[in-house]
Structure 1
Amino acid sequence: MANVFPIKIQNYIDGKWVPSSNMKTYQRENPANPEEIVIIAPNSTVEDTNHAVEAAQRAFADWSSTPAPKRADLLYRFTEQLYAERESIAQIITKEQGKTLNEALGEINKTISEVRYTAGEATRMNGQTLPSERAGIEVKTKRVPKGVIAAISPWNFPIVTPLRKIAPALATGNTVVFKPASITVGTAAKFVEIFEKVGLPKGVLNLVIGSGREVGTPLIGHPLVKGVTFTGSTGVGRSIYQVAAEKLIPVQLEMGGKNAGIIYDYNDIKGAVNQICGAAFAATGQRCTSISRIVVQRSAVNDVVSYLKDKCQSYIIGDGMNPETTLGPVVSKDHLETIENYVQIGVNEGATLVHGGKRVESQTKGYFYEPTVFTDVSPDMRIAKEEIFGPVLTITPVDSFDEAIQIANDVEYGLAASCFTNNMEYAEQFVNEVQTGMLHINNGTISESHVPFGGLKNSAVGPYSIGVTAKDFFTDLKVVYSASK
């Protein structure tokens, strides 16, 4: 069913759709056509945040005592309804975030896969039985939910990233207060609506829309919140960590990345470039796992540049609602200007711009930017060290594999990296020495729906999300000693 824009949405607190307590709203434009308003949303307050946390606390006792298979059944029903409404939700994602409709549908499909896996985890909350040092004593461990979880998500993946937090929280018996990025609240409201449709009890999941100051900060600092799961920039993650540390509550932070793709001693340069472009320019480069640096054997640089130019020229830039579009707009005017500033920094630093480097003009004045490639990039340049979060790739030549490893590690981040090589000794060295949480050999930086997702260094803090590690964050461990009499 087609959506009618603009969509007016509200907060969802204690099982009811309600406006902000101050009755204020804000508007979100379509990044492909900024004159089109697509969402009208509440600009909520500290009072709204407190009400949501209190509702989640009231709901915790009943939800945590709900049998795990029943919690799993609700998540399975959610995925079935999400699948049924996927076309409508994909339209909202494309209209408010900008990614192509195919990418939006792909994100929804991945969300369904992850939530299905997580639903199964509800029934795998197993502990251990351990031998005691004493006769007549039984020792066992069990996992228990924490309580109210604050889930704070970014704008680049407005459905898979929030559900990566909400689904395991619910599966393990926690309740949630969810603050989405202000740019993509239409998607958030839509999938919360689906939870309501499939019968999630009131107060178990609460949605509060608003600024970091009025919603995010008081949510993290609220005394009833027992854990914070956040995806976003390293700067914001650091401030969340500081607030949480004052309360002595755990955090799960997935933050920035400056991911390298190494090409060394590899006989399919074109294939490597195709894989890297997919990793670099999907979602217009606005992915924490995007490859943004190519570190390449010097003798292969010319071939890499040639194939990159051909690939970049093949992208069709435009409105993501157009089925022919393969590269949508960036998310906002401010972000477009940030990318432009970084490209100018690269030019000023002495890097060679070999493709792109400018806005794409359109009748709608959308936030379109060309896929951009720099060569002659030294590892100390800002464009080689700082996260640009846009369709910008740098190329740094090296004369040894050891040098490639050193450069791959010479950033503050440690999220993901790829290595394209036919030399298995190099592949093993890459796995052992590159300081990232996720390593890919002869493929791009695609993650899978049942596999732990996370990073090292300034890219992450706390247990990895998805997979078997998610419950390490969303549950506490109890140890029980039982005497036979």
Structure 2
Amino acid sequence: MTITKTDVFKNFINGEWEETKEVYEVTNPADTNEVVGKFPLSTEEDVDRAVKSANEAFLSWRKVPASERATYVYRFIDLLDQNKERLGEALCKEQGKPLQEAVTEVTRGVSEMRFVAGEAVRLDGTTLPSDRRGVINMSVRVPIGVVAAITPWNFPVLTPLRKVMPALVCGCTVVLKPATDTPLTSLIITQLLEEAGFPAGTVSLVMGRGRKVGEALVGHPLVKGVSFTGSTQVGRKIYETAAKNFTKVQLELGGNNPAVVAEYGDLEGAATQIVAGCYGNAGQRCTAIGRLIVLDKHADELEKLIVEKVKAYKVGNGMEEGTTIGPVISEGARQELEGYMETAKEEGATILIGGRSLKEGKYENGYYFEPTVISGVTGDMKVAKEEIFGPVLIVIRVSSFEEAIEVSNNTEYGLTASVFTDDMNLGYRYMEDIESGMVHINNGTVSEGHMPFGGVKNSGVGAYSIGGTNKDFYTELKVAYIQYK
């Protein structure tokens, strides 16, 4: 896909591409001299028209048989598969992750959406015996209505797909608001939805600043559900706004995810999985492993293994062959990382590798930060308590498995966690005692597209997304009592 500096993109409302009076510019975080394009700064009026058209489309879309809705989705999946290189390049340029990693994200989206399409014929209800003669009791699932899908910048292909497609399968209509930093991939997805023949109004795309567009969407009285992925801080505001209209919410929020290593013989294997779980997407993942909590007996060897693996990363522009870790999303994100490094040193921790911004030579025009390992961290340090959204792994040494569980749970978050152990008694204890929506035993924090995905504590609210639990958000139960003679 060729992008020029003159590309000015449009919103998609009620089946039409519409210009806006104002636009903003998106640049490549790997090279800010490269302009990805100019995108709409939408208004509350744009949002209102998109929601009203979605509500009008819902009246007919909800009555389309589920199997027929799935046919539209399968047609879209074929187009998505055919355009994975195009989408991968757009993703790389607007978000920064290496090209192969970007294409892999699209490929995973293709695979996951095949499962989602199949959910159309699994929208089950129940039939229960009545206490009365001649009466049948049953419940059925019905779509909730217009859904606002508000997506983050770190997975700008996969996350919109995970919100838009199950909504459509369940009979809802959608207004998609992508992250300000990464609108191009959502725009291409919308083009493919249009090409797949979805009726006008079933999906609209409205771009712009979250404070104006996002708030107008969340507070709109015709919006019946809000699916949001992003920071806990923003999620809390969305929850408060949605509550005024009793709007249903699905919030996927932050994480500060631990990996515990205790009584484990394959430290090489553990190091491989922990490093992959930490530094993928430059650590900008809500499921990234950020805290390594390790028994003292394993710590020295495991730290050495991890540092050696981190040395192998090649930082650079994601379009360059051989790059294995790209830039962070913005200068603000990089400055936050620099602040965490200073705080860690002030509190007595030691940076084993990395810890610096890269700003010279080929890195001059991008937002690059070295992959980092910090040792000597204690549970009360700032870098242990907060979510560091970047390529940083902290190491906390503990003297017992009980302490490992206590340190793991010493956070406001509860998204995902890992434990590496040869003693399955410890594995089961960890699974039972960890305050986390997801747990992995002897593997990293990679989720699978047919399994529920979600967190507890400040990591999530509402029905878990992905897998069969999606329908718990996009539908509600209607109970029927039928009397016959």
With the length of structure 2 as denominator, give the TM-score of the two structures. Answer: 0.98
Q: CA deviation at 1:245?
A: 1.1
Give distance in 1, aligned partners of 2:175 and 2:281. Answer: 27
Aligned to 2:378: 378
Select 1:173's aligned residue among 150, 163, 171: 171
Give distance in 1, aligned partners of 2:172 and 2:112. Answer: 18
Length, aligned pairs only: 482
Aligned to 1:413: 413
Is the partner of 1:379 in helix, strand or coil?
coil
Q: CA deviation at 1:8?
A: 2.6
Give CA-to-partner distance per residue, 1:308-342, whole Å, 9 cap, x none: 11111100110001121000111111111111111
Aligned to 1:98: 96
Matches within 5 A, 1:103-114: 103-114=101-112
Q: Tell me which amino acid in the other structure corresponds to 2:2.
A: N
Give distance in 2, aligned partners of 1:64 and 1:39. Answer: 35
Aligned to 1:391: 391
Give distance in 2, aligned partners of 1:34 and 1:365. Answer: 6
Matched, 1:469 2:469: yes
Aligned to 1:116: 114
Give CA-to-partner distance per residue, 1:272-307, whole Å, 9 cap, x none: 011001010000000000000000010111111111
Is the partner of 1:394 in helix, strand or coil?
strand
Give CA-to-partner distance per residue, 1:367-413, whole Å, 9 cap, x none: 11111111110001110010110001100001110000000000000
Q: Tell me which amino acid in the other structure corresponds to 1:26.
A: Y
Judge conservation of contact 1:89–1:187 (CA < 8 Å) in 2: yes
Divergent runs of 4+, >6 A = none
Judge conservation of contact 2:50–2:204 (CA < 8 Å) in 1: yes
RMSD of aligned alpha carbons:
0.8
Select 1:152's aligned residue among 150, 153, 157: 150
Q: 1:411 to 1:210 in 2, by over 3 A?
A: same
Is the partner of 2:292 in helix, strand or coil?
strand
Give CA-to-partner distance per residue, 1:146-183, whole Å, 9 cap, x none: 11011100000001111111111000000011110010
Aligned to 1:31: 29
Gaps in structure 2 of 5+ consecutive residues: none
Aligned to 1:434: 434
Is the partner of 1:317 in helix, strand or coil?
coil
Q: CA deviation at 1:365?
A: 2.2
Matches within 5 A, 1:240-279: 240-279=238-277
Q: Tell me which amino acid in the other structure corresponds to 2:369.
A: Y
Give distance in 2, aligned partners of 1:65 and 1:397. Answer: 58
Give distance in 2, aligned partners of 1:252 and 1:211. Answer: 21
Select 2:225's aligned residue among 224, 227, 244: 227
Aligned to 2:288: 290
Q: Tell me which amino acid in the other structure corresponds to 2:405.
A: I
With the length of structure 1 as denominator, give the TM-score of the two structures. Answer: 0.98
Is the partner of 1:182 in helix, strand or coil?
coil
Judge conservation of contact 1:3–1:91 (CA < 8 Å) in 2: no
Judge conservation of contact 2:3–2:37 (CA < 8 Å) in 1: no
Aligned to 2:361: 362
Q: CA deviation at 1:39?
A: 1.8
Q: Tell me which amino acid in the other structure corresponds to 2:51.
A: V
Percent of residue pairs identical:
47
Give distance in 1, aligned partners of 2:269 and 2:466. Answer: 29
Aligned to 2:10: 10
Aligned to 1:48: 46
Give CA-to-partner distance per residue, 1:173-229, whole Å, 9 cap, x none: 000111100100000100000000010100000000011121000110001000100
